[in-house]
Amino acid sequence: MSEEHFRKIIEGVGISIWEEDFSHVKMLVDALAAEGVRDFRRYFVEHPDVVERAIGLVRILDVNPASVRMFGATSRGELLQSLHQIFLPETRQVFFEELVSIAEHQQFFESETVLKTLRGDRLHALLTITFPPPDQSFDRIVVTLTDITKRKRAEEALRESEERYRSLTAAITSLVWTTDAKGRFVTPQPGWTAYTGQAWEQLREYGWNEATHPDDRETIQRVWNAACISETSFEFSGRLWHASSHAYRHVETRGVPIRNADGTVREWIGKCLDVEDRTQAEKALQESEHRFSKFMRHLPGLAWIKDLQGHYVYANETAELVFQTPRERLYGRTDKEIFPQDVADQFKENDRQALISETGVQVVETLKHQDGVLHHAIVSKFPILGADGRPVLIGGMAIDITARKQAEQLLLESESEARRLLALNQTIMMNMGEGLYTLDSQGLVTYVNPEAERLLGWTSGELLGRSMHQMAHYQYPDGSPFPIEECAGFQVLRNGKVLRDFEDTFIRKDGSYFPVSYSSSPLRDQNGKIAGIVIVFQDISERKQAEENLRRWKDELEVRVQTRTGELLSSKNRLRSLAAQLSLTEEHQRRKLARDLHDYLVQLLVVGRMKLHELKENVSLPPEAEVLTGEVEDVLQQALTYSRTTIAELSPPALHETGLAESLKWLAEIMEKHGLRVKVHTSDYEAIPLSEDRVILLFQSLRELLFNVLKHAGVDEATVRMSSGQVGKVCIAVEDHGKGLQVGAMQQAMEPGHLGLFAVQERMEAMGGRVEFTSAPGKGTSVRLVLPIHGSPGEIDTESPRERKITQSPGSEHTAVNPQCEEVASIGQTTVQPRIRVMLVDDHVMFRKGMQKLLERYPDVEIVGEANDGEEAVRVVPQLMPDVVVMDNNMPKLNGIDATRRICREWPAIKVIGLSMYDEKEIRAAMLDAGAVDYLQKNGTVTELYQAICALFPQPT
């Protein structure tokens, strides 16, 4: 049904229809529910001020012509302006029930109420309201009022008729009865029968007691029997059945004995007086007084009663508090005795006006309350009429409207502020730098600001009342039509959602396009219904051009960045590769230098020491020469010791001879000489093939980390853990419990003079590894090196001798004993002791020749052959089958440890004595583990070597 059709029905219907806004009342009820109120009826009774506030929240929006006629008004405006005249105090209770219905989500409310026409006539009306579901709007509630005054008058007439009938019936409610001396009905009782309806057969003897109330029968029978026995008067108040009203009524019964001349009781005579009306009146009076007291106690305001002389005869608790006078002091006193003179005069004059007016007066009075604030109150004063229709008392009620007065003042101030803001908004819209226009619900222009006129090229007069979409938004930039249904800004009229910063294209009056960014917001009326939209837009042509330039520059920059990034990455990779090659070259040079020292200087020193020893053994020297010879020998020994230390520092022999795991233990011993105890754990490490550059990298990195602990951690102990638990990777962790790395330590490591950790990290990453740091100030540091076993293509795969898998050459022979040795063994019982066959293996010819010459002086030693390296030794041994092989450790091609292992495995009868320039326990342990029976230093004497050889073959006793 359309709004217009609905309005026509409302205007033409014959009953009074009011359109009211209960939305604020609904919000108040919802707020109370949110605060936890459940029993709303009780809450409203206990908080009448809330009910009063809710009354003020109802807004009457409109009334129909039938309402104007019902209340005797000349127009809608007169009726709406005179609403305060039509509502009586009784109406408040009806609104109370309306409020409860809203709170309890009742959708239908109906009640009778009493109103007053503008002519002052009382009007009885049936009020009906249909409320929407709780989740819908309460802003348009239809209230109907049906005039039932005639019906009420008919009901009143009927009630008066019934009262007259009851009065006639009451006239015969006094009855007389007689009994015999024993209290029995022995003769018919017409009065009893007429009142109770009992027939003679029912009431005879003691049957009369059946007409009494069941709750009274036992008591009345007992009292009656006692009276008969004592022959004294009988009095009882109880309830007796009344046939006409079909109900029990209260009666007062009195009976007296009638005596014979001799004083004996002949009969009893009595009377029952109906006192039901009096009883009910007393009860009604009590209830009325209780209701009055309760009403006055909960009245949301003051209430009082005065006599015609102005003396207070009643005041409720609220009045007592406001007047600041206890009721016992208030009663009997006048306003002049309680209030200041001006206030008392004001009250007295209003009392006088109330007595003059038949309906009383309603005025606004002021009084300072106990809070010290001057309060305003709407006061109703009215005469209370006596039985003769003349005033006997003056009643008064007052409702505090101070808050409303303050609200009205605030409203006035807010209206003034609203007008100021409206003017300000108009100024802003007229001078703002963005275009602004408003549309009604049909999309027609209702306002255009100057900036919008400038941007669009249209004047305000040309746009008002026309479709903005058809004027400036009717097609896409490609010329295709732009339906209004697809317009995002227009959709706000449908969905009510705010559209912000939407980019689109508008069309000027001259047909040119320009890009815009606009926001569209709904405009709502007082009922919340969308009445239009406001659109604010700005020309973003310059911004779009700037964005396009920025996008082009960004693309160019990205290309340049990618190019430079590729160059930097390439440079970084080359630098890493060069660093790795530099590190490997450095190590090779250190090894070459160490090897040169070992192969020439050290050998010369050893040979010189041998020659000196031979000189002392074979030539008798004067004392001065012996002293000089001893000093030369000490110098040679010191030179050997220094050379050996230098060679070990340049290229640790353990690293190349015994592998990475053993070299870590050697490094731990070196660090201990510098003051750092290092615990090495290699139980989780299995020997795996590593390229030479990876072994060197791990060793050098570990040495750098240990020196960092020594210099910076502030502790004298560290732990090294080596493992191969991760498939294809070797892991080495260095842990300490020292100071820990400070914040920014890695950043500082990249600065000049602090490149140790940074260099380690870069070299590890260059070989596909990584460095993991775990540290906190005061909690120590853990640095973990993780390196893949296999390198990238092109890396040198040079295995260290210890980690290289030893394989047997094809075609090798496994002859364990030289036939010549077998022959010697077979003639072991002869007296001739065979000579010990010795083979010398060393890559230094000078050392071999010197050693051969010295050993051949011993008659029981025979030098049967020589070899220049381990491979040659393995090849020559099966041909010579010596008893003893004197094996140097450090040799090219195949080192002494691996050569010893092969010889001892294939020819176990041959004894191997290891020789080395180094007194390193790792090398000693490796040589003995390979099968050597002894290990000597080259800087020892030939005698020591001879004794070691002889110890292998003890002479028979």
Question: Which is more confidently placed, 803 or 80?
Answer: 80
HSE, side-chain direction, 13 A CA sphere, residue 870: 22
* Confidence check: pLDDT of 649 > 80: no
Per-residue pLDDT at 822: 35
State pLDDT tens for residues 320-338: 888 888 888 889 999 999 8
Q: Which residues are within 8 A (CB) of 758 and not within 5 positions of it... i.e. 6 or more apart?
A: 746, 749, 750
* Confidence check: pLDDT of 809 > 80: no
**The two three-digit tokens of residue 854, written as one number:** 């010295």
Q: Tell me the mean pLDDT in the region 413-431.
A: 83
Q: Are 746 and 757 in contact (CB under 8 A)?
A: yes
State how far Cα 20 lies from the chain centre.
44
State pLDDT tens for residues 232-274: 999 999 999 999 889 999 999 999 999 998 889 999 999 999 9
**Sign, CA torsion 339/343/348/350:** negative
Place of tokens 């009056």: 509
**Sign, CA torsion 742/746/750/756:** positive
Question: Which is more confidently placed, 385 or 955?
Answer: 385
Q: Are 305 and 285 in contact (CB under 8 A)?
A: no
In degrees, rounded to 5, the angle at the alpha carbon of residue 257 between the alpha carbons of residues 251 and 262 is: 180
Integer Cα distance of 895 and 898 in angstroms = 6
* Confidence check: pLDDT of 825 > 50: no
State pLDDT tens for residues 666-711: 888 888 888 899 999 887 777 777 777 788 888 888 888 888 888 8
Q: Are 145 and 127 in contact (CB under 8 A)?
A: yes
Closest CA to 939 of 648, 604, 595, 590: 604
Q: Are 521 and 528 in contact (CB under 8 A)?
A: no
Per-residue pLDDT at 723: 84
H helix and E strand count, the chain: 35, 29
The percentage of residues in the chain with a pLDDT greater than 70, rounded to a whole number, is: 88
**The two three-digit tokens of residue 162, written as one number:** 């019934």
Integer Cα distance of 819 and 799 in angstroms = 38
Integer Cα distance of 204 and 223 in angstroms = 19
Closest CA to 398 of 479, 326, 301: 301
Q: How far is CA 586 from CA 186, 455, 648, 693, in A?
A: 152, 76, 15, 11
Integer Cα distance of 896 and 584 in angstroms = 24
Q: Answer whether 0.85 is exceeded by the pTM.
A: no
* Confidence check: pLDDT of 727 > 60: yes
For residue 490, report the phi and psi dihedrals to the nearest 5 degrees.
-70, -25
Q: Tell me the mean pLDDT in the region 464-475.
A: 92
In degrees, rounded to 5, the angle at the alpha carbon of residue 738 between the alpha carbons of residues 733 and 740 is: 75
State pLDDT tens for residues 73-114: 999 889 888 888 888 888 888 999 999 999 999 989 999 999
**The two three-digit tokens of residue 779, written as one number:** 């909690």
Per-residue pLDDT at 626: 78
When pLDDT is cut at 50, 70 and 90, the band that residue 217 belongs to is very high
HSE, side-chain direction, 13 A CA sphere, residue 562: 6
Q: How far is it between the farthest Cα atoms of the chain?
A: 194
Per-residue pLDDT at 517: 94
HSE, side-chain direction, 13 A CA sphere, residue 292: 11
When pLDDT is cut at 50, 70 and 90, the band that residue 829 belongs to is very low
Tell me the average pLDDT of the chain: 83
Per-residue pLDDT at 388: 85
**DSSP secondary structure letter of residue 956:** P
Integer Cα distance of 343 and 323 in angstroms = 12
Per-residue pLDDT at 953: 87
- Say how many residues make up the chain: 957
When pLDDT is cut at 50, 70 and 90, the band that residue 413 belongs to is confident
State pLDDT tens for residues 172-204: 557 889 999 988 999 999 889 989 999 999 999
Per-residue pLDDT at 874: 93
Per-residue pLDDT at 257: 94
State pLDDT tens for residues 853-888: 888 888 899 999 999 999 999 999 999 999 999 999
Question: Which is more confidently placed, 469 or 289?
Answer: 469
State pLDDT tens for residues 511-555: 999 999 999 999 999 888 999 999 999 999 999 999 899 999 998
Per-residue pLDDT at 646: 78
Integer Cα distance of 452 and 460 in angstroms = 9
From 332-346, 448-462, 597-611, the region with the lowest mean pLDDT: 597-611
